[in-house]
Structure 1
Amino acid sequence: MKALVINCTLKTSPDPSNTHALATVVAAQLEKYGAEVEFVRAVDMDIRPGVVSEAVGPGDQWPQVHGKLRESDILVVASPTWLGRPSSVAQRVLERMDAMLSETDDDGRPVAYNKVAGVVVTGNEDGAHHVISEISGALADIGYTIPGQAWTYWHLGPGPGPDYLDDERGRDWSHRTGRAMAANLFGTAKALAANPLGAPPE
């Protein structure tokens, strides 16, 4: 089983990413179940604005990400919280994924059917549940199955404060929730593999 984590931090490599650090907790648990996990840091790639899966222009690297999405059974979208909302990088990724609404497999099913997805959020301000709902809602629209409690987040309350990598407080809860998230994602992906959804009725 393949899992893809798209990190939508605003920080380019090799800068440390709080969002990546929390997402690795989920990834490690998925790997314990036998999943093969790959990370993509979207901001490191040239992903152009658009709502198509094909390259928008020379150098557009979205088709590479789209190929990984098609190959993966589990998707984790990880985003920081900025102004109480998902990052601009997360929005760009979701806009490009919009094209998947019209893509079908050989059996006439939307290509995101029988795939599961969840969300990881970090930030030093409130808004995590809003970010989770925004991203989860978009992924459900595209056709992903969102299991119960398919998310984890970390923040220390409203207002400015330390980053995840700078403060141990709250980590135990976030990590425990992240491991539960991984269990729910993997279990649901296994169930769908054994009993896949069919194409929507005409």
Structure 2
Amino acid sequence: MINCTLKPSPDASNTGALAQVVADELEKRHGVPVHTVRAVDLDIRPGVSTDMGEGDDWPRVHRALLDSQILIIASPTWAGRPSSVAQRVIERLDALLSETDDEGRPVAYNRVAGVVVTGNEDGAHHVISEINGALADFGFTIPGQAWTYWHLGPGPGPDYLDDERGHDWSAKTGRAMASNLAAAARALAAHPIPAPPG
């Protein structure tokens, strides 16, 4: 899970709090260990390569990603769009397009992905579609309802951690997201997508 909040540790992250609901469900109900990275705490250089040189922290995120079957990107909504940190992560994920496994498949094949979004303004569905669209381009499988979000409508308002309204719906949707991701990952492990025809 990559939390793309703009808040560095140890500041509380609204996005991280909702993402933790999904992580808890994956771990406790589905037996899926979850490793979370707060991208803003790392030196993730601009670019579209796996390794941008000395000091670039993306290579270790890349290694963790290749050890995983499920990727979740969690982003706040800013001006109706994914955070700048999420955009940086997506740009670095672009390098996956040129990487293949031993059978000639793009390395994102047979991995599933989903999205968590928070914000005190509308735009969650737009953020979900932008991130999921990019992940599908890279080769990830996006199961149905592989997302959850929280917001209280258009305009300024309280944050997720400051207001309990809507939490039940977001948590229920997050639990469904976890179930769908785990089921799709198991299905792909049993019946992998073959390499594209040459």
Query: Normalised by the size of structure 1, how large is the TM-score?
Result: 0.97
Match of 1:96 in 2: 92
Match of 2:26 in 1: 30
Q: CA deviation at 1:63?
A: 0.3
Q: Deviations 1:77-102 (Å, cap 9, x if unpaired)?
A: 00000000000000000000101001
Match of 2:55 among 38, 59, 62: 59
Match of 2:73 among 77, 82, 85: 77
Q: CA deviation at 1:58?
A: 1.9
Whole-Å separation in 2 of the counterparts to 1:191 and 1:85: 32
Q: CA deviation at 1:57?
A: 2.9
Letter in 1 for 2:142: I
Match of 2:182 among 183, 186, 195: 186
> Where in structure 2 are the equivalents of 1:115-194 lying within 5 Å?
115-194=111-190
Q: Deviations 1:128-184 (Å, cap 9, x if unpaired)?
A: 000000000000000000000000000000000000000000000000000000000
Whole-Å separation in 2 of the counterparts to 1:17 and 1:100: 28
Match of 1:40 in 2: 37
Does structure 1 residue 9 correspond to structure 2 residue 5? yes
Whole-Å separation in 2 of the counterparts to 1:74 and 1:96: 17
Whole-Å separation in 1 of the counterparts to 2:76 and 2:179: 23
Whole-Å separation in 2 of the counterparts to 1:47 and 1:176: 33
Structure 2 residues without counterparts, runs of 5 or longer: none
- SS of 1:38's equivalent in the other structure is coil
- SS of 2:34's equivalent in the other structure is strand
Letter in 2 for 1:8: C
Structure 1 residues without counterparts, runs of 5 or longer: none
- SS of 1:180's equivalent in the other structure is helix
> RMSD between aligned alpha carbons?
0.5
Aligned residues: 197
- SS of 2:88's equivalent in the other structure is helix
Query: Normalised by the size of structure 2, how large is the TM-score?
Result: 0.99
